[in-house]
Each structure stands twice: as structure tokens, then as C-alpha cells.
Amino acid sequence: MTDASATASPDAMIRLENLTKAYPGQAEPAIDGLSLEIPRGEIVVFVGPSGCGKTTLMKLINRLIEPTSGRIVIDGRDVTEMNPDELRRGIGYAIQQTGLFPHRTVAQNIATVPKLLGWPAEKVSARVDELLTMVGLAPDTYRDRYPKQLSGGQQQRVGVARALAADPAVMLMDEPFGAIDPITREALQNEFLRIQRDIRKTIVFVTHDIDEAVKLGDRIAVFGPGGRIAQYDTPEAVLSDPADDYVAEFIGAGAYVKRLTLTRLSRVEAATDWPTVPSSAGREARLAALRSADRDFVLVLDDERRPAGWLGRDLAADDDRLTGDGLPLLSSLGPDDTLFDALNAMLASNADVVVVTGEDGRYRGTLGMAAIQELIHTASPSSGAGAASPAAGAERSAGRDRGGPDSPGKDSPGKEVR
């Protein structure tokens, strides 16, 4: 029904062409004429309400079920021309509710596909230990346990390890972190992103949860009832430009706050007009800087131009404090921090500005509340950067250019906060 190929990447790992699946006896097809391209090395998240056909689509991709019509092409090959067993061994599948074999140990579960592929025993056991370590389970402790001797979150980790075992190019993950408490879930998501930074698989990831989709996806496909794709785009574009009322409602409240977490400071231009003074400056020079400043605070920079502290006008009368490094610098944010972190730091320190540094810790500029507001309202990768904002605040900082369509993608999708 929906042709999403307009937004596709030229280097598609998985291509779905006009795909339809009608289960026997079903009035409406579960999937109806769906076309979609999944770029190589990206995480594409299918998000949508229960029953909209997400699991059906996963099963179609690895041929656990056959389409009624349409084509599925993986890495240039039509899957219907492939031997299903061979196909499945090349695809890691972490299924909804983990699906571990209850009568096999953790090690035996993980070893399933490598054994089918006839790997030698030493290679299999080395791989099992490597994967257990990768997903944060100590091999000596967990290798010989049975699934029921693990917590739900640990079982899901084993499920992910099993899907990764034979180093497949494609991973299908159907709600792998569902039914897990929010804290463990966040830890698993962060681990997942960290692992993906190294392994760069093509991953189709299913979730009900829009926050999880925004956090993990390089792209998001928002599904509506009947397997319709309501929108397929980057998280930024989906949040800032929902395609229709259905998508807007699905995103729910807080779209702007969600967007804050997507924007790293490395992609934000900082204002460079804040008055500064070198820490080597003496009493007179400091007083002069304060006097000529159009702000109540002057930023002190050390010999390496790293932020050392704020010097306030109220210190002018206090020689000792005037010649020290000023007030402590409550918050200084690096390139990996996000606009969310910047706003949080402002609220925490009750300031209306934060100091931004580069990778080397040197001063890059400042970011103010008005600039953040402007960024959130104008920066939209899908609609092009730099749209004029009528509300351009007094802080003429923070370029709106945080990435147009041709900007580098999310180089590291992790949202870790230093």
C-alpha cells in the first residue's frame, strides 16, 4: 500500500517489493503491498501497535512463512530462490519471548547455528565464551546453566548472543528487550548500541516503544494497522515532521524532549561572543574585562584555553577571589553530550548558559537557553537545515545546522553521557 522506497538508500541490504501476506481465513491481509529498503549496516526499527504485522514481516524475511505475493531480496538475492536453511543460518533471529531451548544449556543454545554449520568444537566453545562476554555474562558462571536458571534479562542477553553466534550479516530482533524492567532495559540498549558500533550488522529491530525506536534506530518505520507504513525516516525527521496525525499520536507527548536527546553538541555551533579572560591575567586586566563585559560573568580560560571558572561582577571588590580562578565551573559539556544534557545542566545549575568544549577539552563556546529553543524548532534534517526562525533569540549563537540530508549520519548512535 505504501511505497517507502523514495527514502531508501542506494545500498540496500534488504529490499521488500510489493509484499503481501494474507493468512488463511484472514479477512484483511496482515501485510498489504509493502515496499521498503533497509540499508546495509544500519539499525532499522519497526515500531507500531500490537497486531500490525511486525512479527509477520520478520518471519517473511527469513522465510519462516511464505509471502502471498511480492519479493524479498537480501544482499541482491531473491530469498525464494535460496535454500531456507541456508538463508536462516545467514540471519540471526532473536525472537519475541527469547525462545531459548529449555533443555539445552546456555552454551548449547548459543552454539546452535555454529554447530549446524559444522564448526569445530574448539571454535564453537571459544565463540560461545566470546559472545557471553560481549553481552555481559561471565562465561564461567553462565555457560552451563539452563534458561530457567537465568533472570528474564539474562535470558534475553543469551537470545541476542545466540542470534549473533555465526556472525550473520543480518539480524532480526523481535522485541528482544520486551518485558524487562526499565533500568535493565536501558542497560541492554546501551550494550546493544556499543556492540553494534563494532559489528555494524544490518539489523531489523521490532518494538512497541517509540522511545526505544528513537534511541536505537538509524531509521524508524512507523507501522499502522494492516501492515501499512505510515512513515519511514530518521528519528529526527519522524519526531520533527510526523507524516500524519496517526504518527503524531503514536509519538505522543514529548516530541521536543525526545529530540533533545538526539542532538549531540558536536553537531551544534556554539556562540563565541561570551567575554573571556585568560587565567594568567592579573587583577587590573580582570577588572577591565569585567568592566567592559556586557554580561555579569566573564569566563576564565587557563593556559590551554580550557574553561577554568566564572568570574562574577560581585567579585570585583574581593581581591582574593578576583584573582583566583573565579567561581567553580558547574558544567562544561563535551562533543558527545546532547542538547538534553545541556538543558539538564542549565536546570541543575540554575544558569541560562553552559560552556561547550571540544574533544581536547578546550573552550569552544557557549550555548544558551534561547539557542536550544531555536535549534529544536528549526533544525530538521528532513526539511533542510537553516529554516528561518521568527523567534531567533538575543543569543545569536548555535547555528541551526546540525545536519541536513547530506550530513554525516549518527556516527555513534549511543547516547551515553559522560
Rounded least distance, CB 208 to ligand ATP, Å: 6
Q: Of these partners, ligand ATP, Mg ion, none, which one is at the site of residue 350 (CB under 5 to 8 Å by kind)?
A: none
Whole-number minimum distance, CB 166 to ligand ATP, in Å?
25
> Helix H segments across 117-201?
121-134, 139-142, 152-164, 182-199
Instruction: Single out the residue of 307, 241, 250 nearest to residue 45, CA to CA.
Output: 250
Judged by beta carbon, residue 47 or residue 311, the one nearer ligand ATP is 47
Selection from 218, 219, 196, 223 nearest residue 208 by Cα = 223
Closer Cβ to Mg ion, 176 or 242, answer by number:
176
Region of 52-60, 147-155, 214-222, 407-415 interacting with Mg ion (CB under 5 A): 52-60
Site stretch for Mg ion (CB under 5 A), options 48-56, 149-157, 229-237, 381-389: 48-56
**Quick one: what does residue 267 bind among ligand ATP, Mg ion, none, with the CB cut-off 5 to 8 Å set by partner type?**
none
Q: How many residues does the chain have?
A: 418
Give residue number: closest CB to Mg ion: 55
Query: C-beta of 30: minimal distance to ligand ATP in Å?
Result: 4
Strands (E), 151-268: 170-174, 202-207, 219-224, 228-233
- What does 328 bind: Mg ion, ligand ATP, none (CB cut-off 5 to 8 Å by kind)? none
Q: Which does 399 bind (CB under 5 to 8 A by kind): ligand ATP, Mg ion, none?
A: none
CA distance 277 to 378: 33
AA identity, residue 38: I
CB of 55 to ligand ATP, least distance (A): 3
- The angle subtended at Cα 172 by Cα 168 and Cα 175, nearest 5°, is 140
**From the CB of 169, what's the least distance to Mg ion, in Å?**
23
Q: Which is nearer to ligand ATP, 9 or 96 (CB)?
A: 96
**Contact by Cβ (8 Å): 137, 120:** no
Binding site for ligand ATP (CB under 6 A): 23, 26, 30, 50-56, 96, 208
Which is it for strands 228-233 and 276-278: parallel, antiparallel or unpaired?
unpaired
What is the DSSP secondary structure assignment for residue 303, as one 8-state letter?
T
Q: Are strands 91-94 and 69-74 parallel, antiparallel or unpaired?
A: unpaired
* Residue 101 binding partner per list ligand ATP, Mg ion, none, with a CB distance cut-off of 5 to 8 Å that depends on partner kind: none
222/252 Cα distance (integer angstroms): 13
What would you report as the CA-atom Rg of the chain, rounded to the nearest whole angstrom?
Answer: 26
Burial class of residue 81, CB neighbours in 10 A (0-12, 13-18, 19+): exposed
Q: Could you tell me the smallest distance in angstroms from the CB atom of residue 67 to Mg ion?
A: 17
> Per-residue x/- marks for Mg ion, 54-73, CB under 5 A?
-x------------------
Q: Which does 30 bind (CB under 5 to 8 A by kind): ligand ATP, Mg ion, none?
A: ligand ATP
Nearest residue (CB) to Mg ion, 52 versus 150:
52
- Shortest gap between Cβ of 176 and ligand ATP (angstroms)? 12
Shortest spacing between CB 23 and ligand ATP, in angstroms: 3
Alpha carbon distance 327, 255 (integer Å): 36
Binding site for Mg ion (CB under 5 A): 55
